[in-house]
C-alpha cells in the first residue's frame, strides 16, 4: 500500500530526481512509491538503457530505487531509471558555461561529457591561453572541467567548447630597450629611421650623369698631362739656351 501522509512534497518537474521503492512488478514494468498521492509508473523500457526481457531480472519488490520524472499525468507519474540528459539541444546556446567530465583525449583535443546527447569537443587551441603541444598536458581523463560553449551544430550533432574563453588573457610585457655606454636607452627603430633619412638625402646619379662626370675627369686629366709636358719642354729649351750662351766666346769691340 502506498503511504504519502508523512512524505514531504517534492518537485515533480521533468528530470526531477526522486527516491522511491518498488511496490509491484508486472510484465510491462513496475509501480514505484515516490511519496506522492498518485502512483509512479516505471515502464520496462525505462529500467535501463540495455533491453530488459523480464522486470524481475533487474528490480525486485521492496527494492529502493532512484528515478527521474518524465511526465506528470492526472492519474500517474511516468518515471525512468535512466538518468535523463542535463541539456537538450534547444538548451545549449553559445557563451553558455557548462561543467563536464573529460571522457576521451585525442591529439587534436578532448571530448567532454556535459550531460547532453553528444559530448562536447574542446580543440587543442581552446584548452588554454598560449601554445599547447599535447592535450594531455592540460587535461586528464576523468577530470571535471568548466568550459564555455562556442558553437552548437544540431544537424551535425557537434558541440564546440572552450576552456580558454574562461581564462584571463596573457599580456606580454614589453622588453626594455638596451642601454648604451652613456646610460641612455638605445632605440633601434629611431636609429634606423635616422640612418635612412641621412642616406636618402643624397641624390642618386643617373647613368648619363655618371658618364658625363667620368668624361670631365678624363678631360681634366688629359689637360693636366699636356700642361706638364709643355712645362717640361720649356724647361729643357731654357736649359739648352743657357748652356749655349755660356759656351759662346767673347768678341772684341
Whether residue 160 sits in one domain with residue 143: yes
User: Mean pLDDT, to the nearest integer, of 115-123?
Assistant: 95
How would residue 63 be classed by pLDDT, with cut points 50, 70 and 90? very high
Using alpha carbons, select from 65, 4, 5, 2 the residue that is nearest to residue 29.
65
* 150-199 per-position pLDDT tens digit: 999 999 999 999 999 999 987 766 666 665 555 555 555 555 554 444 44
Length of the chain: 253
Whether residue 113 sits in one domain with residue 46: no
* 206-224 per-position pLDDT tens digit: 666 677 777 777 777 777 7
Q: Assign 17 to helix, strand or coil.
A: strand
Question: Domain limits at 145?
Answer: 89-166
| Confidence at residue 214, expressed as pLDDT on a 0 to 100 scale | 76
In a domain, 211, yes or no: no
Q: Say yes or no to pLDDT of 251 above 60.
A: no
In a domain, 6, yes or no: no
Whether residue 116 sits in one domain with residue 48: no
In a domain, 37, yes or no: yes
Domain CATH for 106: 2.40.50.140
Q: Say yes or no to pLDDT of 34 above 60.
A: yes
Neighbours of 142 (CB within 10 A): 8
In a domain, 108, yes or no: yes
* 79-97 per-position pLDDT tens digit: 999 999 999 999 999 999 9
- The rounded distance, in Å, linking the Cα atoms of 107 and 123 is 9
Burial (0-12, 13-18, 19+ Cβ within 10 Å), 16: middle
CB 114 within 8 A of CB 98: yes
User: Mean pLDDT, to the nearest integer, of 38-52?
Assistant: 95
User: Mean pLDDT, to the nearest integer, of 34-44?
Assistant: 95
Whether residue 110 sits in one domain with residue 50: no
Last residue of a domain, one of 144, 166, 188: 166
Last residue of a domain, one of 122, 148, 166: 166
Last residue of a domain, one of 166, 201, 222: 166
Whether residue 162 sits in one domain with residue 126: yes
In a domain, 129, yes or no: yes
- Tell me which of 6 and 240 has the higher pLDDT: 240
Whether residue 65 sits in one domain with residue 102: no
Read off the DSSP letter of residue 181. T
In a domain, 3, yes or no: no
Using alpha carbons, select from 100, 99, 98, 104 the residue that is nearest to residue 140.
104
Whether residue 107 sits in one domain with residue 56: no
Whether residue 161 sits in one domain with residue 117: yes
Whether residue 107 sits in one domain with residue 38: no
Considering its fold, how many domains does the chain have in total?
2
Q: Which residue has the cell 581552446?
A: 126
In a domain, 67, yes or no: yes
Strands 40-43 and 109-113, bridge-based pairing: unpaired
Beta bridge partners of 82: none
Whether residue 59 sits in one domain with residue 116: no
Enclosing H/E stretch for 140: none
In a domain, 75, yes or no: yes
Whether residue 113 sits in one domain with residue 55: no
- The rounded distance, in Å, linking the Cα atoms of 23 and 154 is 40
Q: Which residue has the cell 724647361?
A: 235
Amino acid at each position: 500500500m502506498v503511504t504519502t501522509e508523512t512524505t514531504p512534497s517534492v518537485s515533480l518537474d521533468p528530470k526531477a530526481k526522486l527516491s522511491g521503492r518498488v511496490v509491484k512488478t508486472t510484465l510491462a514494468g513496475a509501480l514505484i512509491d515516490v511519496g506522492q498521492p498518485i502512483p509512479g509508473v516505471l515502464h520496462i523500457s525505462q529500467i535501463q538503457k540495455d533491453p530488459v526481457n523480464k522486470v524481475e531480472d533487474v528490480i525486485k519488490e521492496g527494492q529502493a530505487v532512484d528515478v527521474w520524472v518524465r511526465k506528470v499525468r492526472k492519474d500517474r507519474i511516468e518515471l525512468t531509471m535512466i538518468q535523463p540528459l542535463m541539456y537538450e539541444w534547444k538548451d545549449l546556446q553559445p557563451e553558455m558555461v557548462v561543467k563536464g567530465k573529460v571522457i576521451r583525449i585525442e591529439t587534436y583535443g578532448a571530448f567532454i561529457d556535459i550531460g547532453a546527447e553528444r559530448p562536447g569537443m574542446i580543440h587543442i587551441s581552446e584548452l588554454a591561453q598560449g601554445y599547447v603541444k599535447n592535450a594531455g598536458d592540460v587535461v586528464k581523463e576523468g577530470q571535471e572541467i568548466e568550459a564555455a560553449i562556442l558553437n552548437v551544430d544540431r544537424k551535425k550533432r557537434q558541440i564546440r567548447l572552450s576552456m580558454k574563453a574562461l581564462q584571463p588573457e596573457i599580456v606580454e610585457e614589453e622588453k626594455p630597450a638596451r642601454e648604451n655606454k652613456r646610460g641612455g636607452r638605445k632605440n633601434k627603430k629611431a636609429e634606423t629611421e635616422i640612418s635612412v633619412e641621412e642616406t636618402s638625402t643624397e641624390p642618386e646619379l643617373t647613368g648619363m650623369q655618371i658618364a658625363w662626370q667620368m668624361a670631365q675627369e678624363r678631360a681634366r686629366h688629359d689637360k693636366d698631362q699636356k700642361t706638364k709636358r709643355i712645362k717640361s719642354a720649356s724647361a729643357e729649351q731654357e736649359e739648352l739656351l743657357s748652356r749655349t750662351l755660356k759656351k759662346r766666346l767673347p768678341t772684341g769691340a
